[in-house]
Amino acid sequence: MKRRESPWVKAIAIAVVRPIIAAVTRREWRGQHHIPREGGVILAANHLSMADPLTVAHYVYVAGRRWPTFTAKEGVFRIPVVGAVARKTGQIPVFRGSADAVKALREAEKALTEHEAAVIFYPEGTCTRDPDLWPMAAKTGVARLALTTGVPVVPIAHWGEQHLLPYGTAKVRPFPPKRVKMAAGPPVDLAKYRGRPMTASTLRAATADIMAAITGLQADLRGEQPPTEIYDPKLARRARLESAGETGPEQAGNEQTGDDAARA
């Protein structure tokens, strides 16, 4: 099987990243036995901070014993040095808002089925905007890929990176080291959706099951009850516009049409 990654670049990345993460975090890991040691697998995680790709990668590599392959914004690949490392370590660029976005799904499908990789996805698509940092409404791409490939979806939840690097700031707070909790759960049972037409309702239902598993894991890590309603940034934005008198029926209808097109 052809390697997706350069062994020597992987070795350098490990040598640089592991000591840094070990120095600025105090890890509490559980559930790593749910990550299969071989074969293609989707690892679906919540997104708290720009720091959590590193902590999730650390967990997957050390505890799960798998090389972490992320789907990352295409802009990351244009950053000097960082982009070269990302390419050489098998990461997958995502072209948002472009016809090329489908290339990321094809590359991820190839990584899962041909290279039997462990591919990490953030179903929310970006850091959560929920005021209390619970997982928010997610996109359906992960569910679609899982149902298309048949590979298992293992949920991962984490908590604590927001104290290391809060979303929306560039200020890292490395000291004192922050406690970061991480847990994986058993594969999400998507059997009832397999073989069904890949309709929007099917994908939304499968996505809801995946996000419920992630939220349940995070609730356990936090020792709190999650909200009864999932935060949806589109609905929140629409509500703000309406309260400000900026959204009329025609604009609301246009937004809904755009949402439907995006889901299709």
Same domain, 53 and 131: yes
**What does the alpha-carbon distance between residue 2 and residue 254 come to, in Å, rounded to a whole number?**
46
**What does the alpha-carbon distance between residue 29 and residue 9 come to, in Å, rounded to a whole number?**
26
Tell me which residues of the chain have a pLDDT lower than 50. 249-264
For residue 53, being part of any structural domain is answered with yes
Same domain, 47 and 67: yes
Q: Which residues contact 127 (CB under 8 A, 6 or more apart)?
A: 47, 48, 49, 50, 167
pTM: 0.87
Residue numbers of the domain that contains 80: 7-229
Same domain, 173 and 250: no
For residue 252, being part of any structural domain is answered with yes
Residue 63 DSSP label = I
Backbone dihedral angles phi then psi of residue 40, each to the nearest 5 degrees: -65, 140
Same domain, 80 and 50: yes
**What does the alpha-carbon distance between residue 222 and residue 45 come to, in Å, rounded to a whole number?**
15
Same domain, 160 and 238: no
The angle, 0 to 180 degrees and rounded to 10, between the axes of the packed helices 200-222 and 249-263 is 90
For residue 123, being part of any structural domain is answered with yes
For residue 157, being part of any structural domain is answered with yes
C-alpha 127: how far from chain center = 9
Backbone dihedral angles phi then psi of residue 179, each to the nearest 5 degrees: -75, 125
- For residue 30, the one-letter residue type is R
Is the distance from CB of 136 to CB of 232 less than 8 angstroms?
Answer: yes
Give me the residues paired with residue 180 across strands.
27
**Residue 23 CB coordination number (10 Å):** 10
Same domain, 139 and 195: yes
Number of structural domains (the chain) is 2
For residue 168, being part of any structural domain is answered with yes
Please give the structure tokens belonging to residue 157: 């939840």
- What is the SS3 assignment for 186? coil
Please give the structure tokens belonging to residue 144: 């679609």
Please give the structure tokens belonging to residue 25: 């975090």
Question: Tens digit of pLDDT for each residue in 177-205?
Answer: 999 999 999 999 999 999 899 999 999 99
For residue 21, being part of any structural domain is answered with yes
Please give the structure tokens belonging to residue 159: 């908590």
Same domain, 130 and 206: yes
**What does the alpha-carbon distance between residue 258 and residue 254 come to, in Å, rounded to a whole number?**
6
For residue 77, being part of any structural domain is answered with yes
For residue 2, being part of any structural domain is answered with no
**What does the alpha-carbon distance between residue 243 and residue 220 come to, in Å, rounded to a whole number?**
35
Same domain, 33 and 102: yes
Q: Which residues contact 178 (CB under 8 A, 6 or more apart)?
A: 24, 25, 26, 160, 161, 163, 164
- Taking CA atoms, 21 is separated from 11, 18, 112, 117, 180, in Å, by 16, 5, 27, 23, 10
**What does the alpha-carbon distance between residue 211 and residue 141 come to, in Å, rounded to a whole number?**
13
Same domain, 66 and 83: yes
| 176 upstream amide cis, omega within 30 of 0 | yes
Question: Tens digit of pLDDT for each residue in 160-170?
Answer: 999 999 998 88
